[in-house]
Structure 1
Amino acid sequence: MTMPELAVWRVEALRITVFGVEPLAAAGQNWWRTVTGQEPETAINRPQSGEYSEIGPFLGGQLELKVAFNRADWILSYPLIGLPGAPEPSGTLVSTLREFAFSVSKWTAEKPVAASRVALGSVGYVQVENIKAGNEIVGLYIPYMDLTKVSDLTDLLIQLNTPYESKLLGSARINNVTKWAVLGRQVFAIGPTGMPQIKNDIAVRSEFDLSTATDGASVDLSSFGALSSEMIDAVEGVLSAGLKL
């Protein structure tokens, strides 16, 4: 068995997070429009709790800006991907992640906040024939764990952090958390009669969460474009060749 090709991985969700040095004031700042070039469909402001959100379509999915206290999350999701007629990105997981990060970098280039940390994440999946095949695929991505000897293993969930030194940030540590799971899913699809039908399948799910270290120096958001590119290279490297210690 070989690793799935990059083009096979489907996108569930992508995320970029910025932690401000101080509380963030997003209302009326047009951050969503800066990233997308459009107006959001919905904007919700809760000043008493320090929460603000904007939501609308983007890159074939749904983009949500969520701001709470000093944290801003940009979340691009494809909740119905894989179902007939459901919207989905035009590119691969990695190419969509690069396009998403490029769009958010329009916002960070304006340096609207002083940032203490940044993070980038992705959730993807690939369908497999059965649980045994899924376990074997996870074993290919984590070569120092032999999962072929436990073929009857079910409900597999593994989390690892394999940090690396950033060339861009002067060898500062970047946390590289990955989660791997083999799971059974139930999804609803519209059948030929127009009635919803339940479909069962098995999938390998990969989740990446890369972030600058909590004990590191503050992050200059003007360099976010290059930093996010370095992080995405790490994601692509793992999905192409597996984890390395």
Structure 2
Amino acid sequence: MPEAPSFDLTKWKTESLRMTAFLSPSSQITEQNWWEEISGSPPEVRSSQPRTGVKQDEGLFQDENTRGKLILAVQPSRIDWLLAIDFDPTSFNLQSVVSFSESVNSFTQLMNRWFNVSPNLQRIAFAANTLLPFEDVKQAYEYLPGYFPLNQLDLKNAQDFIYRINRPRNFDDISDFKINRLSTWSVMTFTTFKLTNVGSYTNYLPPFNVAIRLEMDINTSTDLSGELPKDKLPKMFAQLVECAKEITLQGDIL
């Protein structure tokens, strides 16, 4: 069995990154200009649903490493920042997608700016969908067991595999306060296609992309009552991100 290609985040590609903040009961959001404060420019689209109290801003985000759609969704009890990486549907090739290491650094810088102006929070989470490209499905399944050192899996001739687990871990600076480390592993095949005028006939177009897909949700648990210390939010978020990097590099470990 080939060893997992660990310790190289540049091999992993990013689908999307998300930061979720759960508001403390004392927090009330009225007017805010977080999009402008964080991105430096107005959003391209702004929408609101007065009855539900949901507001959403979205627009292009781009720096020297990353390009994608940035979405800010504000609800009465939670706030989500989502960065969806751009894919070119006409020439989709996973090898050309931005690496996880580059995109997560850009995203972390954005979130650290927001933590400076954020309301009081009760919990935070970091979620990432990442892809590790392979030449074909057989090769992906050959490498996949290397990411499960605690569970030796035989995936020879396997199909439709999915593996999901949460391995909580104690927070560095706060005793008896846990981080949930939820990861979901699968093998995905991506294709581009076009519909023809002949009934429902579909032409599949090269290139065909195969990847190990890793979905992660790393979040602070509900063990800590009260509010998260505001001055520690960047450090706490950094630890969530480091947990995600560790899982991406080393797989399902304690």
Query: Which category of TM-score, normalised to the shorter sequence, fits these structures?
Result: 0.7 to 0.9
Question: Do residues 73 (structure 1) and 76 (structure 2) align?
Answer: no
What code does the residue aligned with 1:97 have? Answer: V
Among 186, 211, 232, the residue aligned to 2:241: 232
Q: TM-score, normalised by structure 1?
A: 0.85
The answer to whether the 8 A contact 1:176-1:208 is kept is yes
The answer to whether the 8 A contact 1:94-1:232 is kept is no
What residue is the counterpart of 1:37 in the other structure? 40
RMSD: 2.7
Change (3 A) 1:84 1:185: closer
Q: TM-score, normalised by structure 2?
A: 0.83
Among 186, 200, 205, the residue aligned to 1:198: 205
CA distance in 2, matches of 1:73, 1:66: 5
What code does the residue aligned with 1:212 have? Answer: T
Question: Equivalent residues in 2 for 1:28-177 (5 A)?
Answer: 28-59=31-62, 60-80=67-87, 84=91, 92-111=99-118, 113-147=119-153, 149-177=154-182
- Bigger mean CA deviation after superposition, 225-234 or 39-48: 225-234
* Deviations 1:103-122 (CA, angstroms, capped at 9, x unpaired): 122111123x2211100011
Change (3 A) 1:58 1:216: same
Which sections of structure 2, spanning at least 5 residues, go unmatched? 195-202
- Bigger mean CA deviation after superposition, 62-71 or 126-135: 126-135
What residue is the counterpart of 1:193 in the other structure? none
CA distance in 1, matches of 2:81, 2:9: 23
SS in 2 for 1:216: coil
Change (3 A) 1:25 1:63: farther
The answer to whether the 8 A contact 1:19-1:115 is kept is yes
SS in 2 for 1:223: helix
The answer to whether the 8 A contact 2:14-2:97 is kept is no
CA distance in 2, matches of 1:204, 1:26: 40
Question: Equivalent residues in 2 for 1:206-217 (5 A)?
Answer: 206-217=214-225
* Deviations 1:142-196 (CA, angstroms, capped at 9, x unpaired): 112223x33111011111111111113345100000111112222359xxxxxx9
What residue is the counterpart of 2:14 in the other structure? 11
CA distance in 1, matches of 2:26, 2:76: 5
CA distance in 2, matches of 1:116, 1:209: 17
- Bigger mean CA deviation after superposition, 24-33 or 54-63: 24-33
SS in 2 for 1:110: coil
Alpha-carbon offset, residue 89 of structure 1: 9.7
Alpha-carbon offset, residue 63 of structure 1: 0.2
CA distance in 2, matches of 1:232, 1:6: 13
Alpha-carbon offset, residue 34 of structure 1: 1.6
What code does the residue aligned with 1:153 have? Answer: A
CA distance in 1, matches of 2:156, 2:239: 36
CA distance in 1, matches of 2:177, 2:150: 26
The answer to whether the 8 A contact 1:61-1:77 is kept is yes
What code does the residue aligned with 2:3 have? Answer: T
Among 178, 186, 191, the residue aligned to 1:186: 191
* Deviations 1:178-232 (CA, angstroms, capped at 9, x unpaired): 111112222359xxxxxx9633332110111100102323312332211111122
Change (3 A) 1:61 1:121: same
What residue is the counterpart of 2:250 in the other structure? 241
